[in-house]
Structure 1
Amino acid sequence: MGRNTRKRRTPLATKVVAGAAALAVGGGGLVWANFYASAHEEGPAHHRTRSAAAQVATIDCPDVGQQLSGVPDRARGEVDGELATMDSQITEAYQRLATTRRAQAGDPRFVQNTILGPLKDRRQAIIDRIQLEINRAGGRADDGLDRLAGCQGRPAEQPENGDGQNGDGQNGDGQDQDGGQNQDDNGNGAAGPVADDFIDIDDIEPNSRDSENGLAANGDGGSTGTFTTDCGVNENNLFNSDNLIAAPGVDNGAHHVHDYVGNQDNDAFSSDDDLANADTSCRNQGDRSTYYWPVLRLQDGTEEFDANELGGGAEGNVGRILKPAEAQLKFVGNQRGDVVAMPKFLRIITGDAKSFTNGNANANSSWSCTGFEDRQVTDKYPLCPEGSQVVRTSNFQSCWDGRNIDSANHRDHMAFVQEDGGCPNGFRAIPQLQVRLVYDVPAPTVENGEVRNPYAVDSFPEQLHKPITDHNDFINVMDEDLMNEVVDCINSGEDCA
Structure 2
Amino acid sequence: MGRNTRKRRTPLATKIVAGAAALAVGGGGLVWANFYASAHEDHGGHNRTRSAGAQVATIDCPDVGQKIRDVPDRARGEVDGELASMDSQITDAYQRLATTRRAQAGDARFVENSILGPLKERRKALIDRIQLEINRAGGKADDNLDELAGCQGRPADQQQNGDGQNGGGGQDGGQNGDGQGNDGQNGDGQNQDDNGNGVAGPVADDFIDINDVQPNSRNSRNGLAADGDGGSTGTFSTDCGVNENNLFNSDNLIAAPGVDNGAHHTHDYVGNQDNDAFSSDEDLANADTSCQNQGDKSTYYWPVLRLQDGTQEFDANDQGGGAEGNIGKILKPAQAELKFVGSQQGDVVAMPKFLRVITGDAKSFTNGDANANTSWSCSGFEDRQVTDKYPLCPEGSQVLRTTNFQSCWDGQNIDSANHRDHMAFVQEDGSCPEGFQAVPQLQVRLAYDIPTPTVENGQVRNPYAVDSFPEQLHKPITDHNDFINVMDENLMNEVVDCINRGEDCQ
Residue 67 of structure 1 aligns with which residue? Answer: 67
Q: What letter corresponds to residue 26 of structure 2 in structure 1? A: G
Alignment of 1:463 with 2:463, yes or no, is no
Seen in structure 2, the aligned counterparts of structure 1 residues 161 and 101 have a Cα distance that, compared at 3 Å, is closer
Q: Does the CA-based 8 Å contact 1:204-1:376 persist in structure 2?
A: yes
User: Percent identity at matched positions?
Assistant: 86
Seen in structure 2, the aligned counterparts of structure 1 residues 210 and 88 have a Cα distance that, compared at 3 Å, is closer
Distance 1:305 1:478 in 2: 31
Residue 327 of structure 2 aligns with which residue? Answer: 318
What per-residue deviation string (whole Å, max 9, x for no partner) do you get for residues 259-286 of structure 1? 0000000000000000000000000000
Distance 2:144 2:10 in 1: 32
Seen in structure 2, the aligned counterparts of structure 1 residues 146 and 84 have a Cα distance that, compared at 3 Å, is same
Residue among 282, 285, 295 paired with 1:273: 282
Alignment of 1:79 with 2:79, yes or no, is yes
Residue 453 of structure 1 aligns with which residue? Answer: 462
- Give the number of aligned pairs: 470
Shift of 1:40: 5.9
Alignment of 1:489 with 2:498, yes or no, is yes
Shift of 1:161: 4.7
Shift of 1:9: 3.3
Q: Does the CA-based 8 Å contact 2:408-2:439 persist in structure 1?
A: yes
Distance 1:156 1:332 in 2: 41
Residue among 422, 442, 449 paired with 2:431: 422
Distance 1:379 1:61 in 2: 20
Alignment of 1:129 with 2:129, yes or no, is yes
Distance 1:39 1:460 in 2: 30
Q: Does the CA-based 8 Å contact 1:33-1:188 persist in structure 2?
A: no
CA RMSD of aligned residues (A): 2.1
Q: What letter corresponds to residue 456 of structure 1 in structure 2? A: A
Distance 1:251 1:10 in 2: 7
Distance 1:16 1:142 in 2: 33
Question: What is the SS of the residue equivalent to 2:357?
Answer: strand
Q: What letter corresponds to residue 236 of structure 2 in structure 1? A: F
Q: Does the CA-based 8 Å contact 1:21-1:315 persist in structure 2?
A: no
What per-residue deviation string (whole Å, max 9, x for no partner) do you get for residues 369-400 of structure 1? 00000100000000000110000001000000
Alignment of 1:196 with 2:205, yes or no, is yes
Residue 396 of structure 2 aligns with which residue? Answer: 387
Residue 15 of structure 1 aligns with which residue? Answer: 13
Q: Does the CA-based 8 Å contact 1:35-1:190 persist in structure 2?
A: no
Distance 2:91 2:289 in 1: 33
Alignment of 1:328 with 2:337, yes or no, is yes
Residue 258 of structure 1 aligns with which residue? Answer: 267
What per-residue deviation string (whole Å, max 9, x for no partner) do you get for residues 388-444 of structure 1? 000000100000000000000000000000111100000010000000000000000
Residue 477 of structure 1 aligns with which residue? Answer: 486
Q: What letter corresponds to residue 356 of structure 1 in structure 2? A: F
- Runs (5+) with no aligned partner, structure 2: 45-51, 165-173, 178-192
Distance 1:354 1:446 in 2: 26
Q: What letter corresponds to residue 4 of structure 2 in structure 1? A: N
Distance 2:6 2:128 in 1: 33
Residue 368 of structure 2 aligns with which residue? Answer: 359
Alignment of 1:301 with 2:310, yes or no, is yes
What per-residue deviation string (whole Å, max 9, x for no partner) do you get for residues 172-227 of structure 1? xxxxxxxx757963345652000000000011111123874124352432000000
Q: Does the CA-based 8 Å contact 1:158-1:356 persist in structure 2?
A: no
What per-residue deviation string (whole Å, max 9, x for no partner) do you get for residues 226-245 of structure 1? 00000000000000000000
What per-residue deviation string (whole Å, max 9, x for no partner) do you get for residues 425-471 of structure 1? 00010000000000000000011101000000000000000000000
Distance 1:279 1:61 in 2: 39
Residue 297 of structure 2 aligns with which residue? Answer: 288
Residue among 399, 410, 420 paired with 1:411: 420
Alignment of 1:436 with 2:445, yes or no, is yes
TM-score normalized by the length of structure 1: 0.91
TM-score normalized by the length of structure 2: 0.89
Distance 1:341 1:203 in 2: 41
28-37 or 220-229, which deviates more: 28-37
Q: What letter corresponds to residue 221 of structure 1 in structure 2? A: G
Seen in structure 2, the aligned counterparts of structure 1 residues 191 and 53 have a Cα distance that, compared at 3 Å, is same
Residue 401 of structure 1 aligns with which residue? Answer: 410
Residue 119 of structure 1 aligns with which residue? Answer: 119
Q: Does the CA-based 8 Å contact 1:159-1:357 persist in structure 2?
A: no
Q: Does the CA-based 8 Å contact 2:316-2:323 persist in structure 1?
A: yes
Distance 1:181 1:334 in 2: 46
Q: What letter corresponds to residue 30 of structure 2 in structure 1? A: L
Seen in structure 2, the aligned counterparts of structure 1 residues 309 and 458 have a Cα distance that, compared at 3 Å, is same
Seen in structure 2, the aligned counterparts of structure 1 residues 267 and 225 have a Cα distance that, compared at 3 Å, is same
Seen in structure 2, the aligned counterparts of structure 1 residues 323 and 441 have a Cα distance that, compared at 3 Å, is same
Distance 1:273 1:286 in 2: 15
Question: What is the SS of the residue equivalent to 1:261?
Answer: strand
Shift of 1:31: 1.8
Residue 102 of structure 1 aligns with which residue? Answer: 102
What per-residue deviation string (whole Å, max 9, x for no partner) do you get for residues 345-370 of structure 1? 00000000000000000000010000
Q: What letter corresponds to residue 114 of structure 1 in structure 2? A: S
What per-residue deviation string (whole Å, max 9, x for no partner) do you get for residues 79-110 of structure 1? 00000000000000000000000100000000
Question: What is the SS of the residue equivalent to 2:194?
Answer: strand
Q: What letter corresponds to residue 124 of structure 1 in structure 2? A: K
Residue 4 of structure 2 aligns with which residue? Answer: 4
Shift of 1:158: 6.7
Q: What letter corresponds to residue 152 of structure 2 in structure 1? A: Q
Residue 186 of structure 1 aligns with which residue? Answer: 195
What per-residue deviation string (whole Å, max 9, x for no partner) do you get for residues 94-142 of structure 1? 0000000010000000000000000000000000000000000000000
Question: What is the SS of the residue equivalent to 1:57?
Answer: strand
Q: Does the CA-based 8 Å contact 1:58-1:190 persist in structure 2?
A: no
Q: What letter corresponds to residue 15 of structure 1 in structure 2? A: A
Shift of 1:155: 2.2
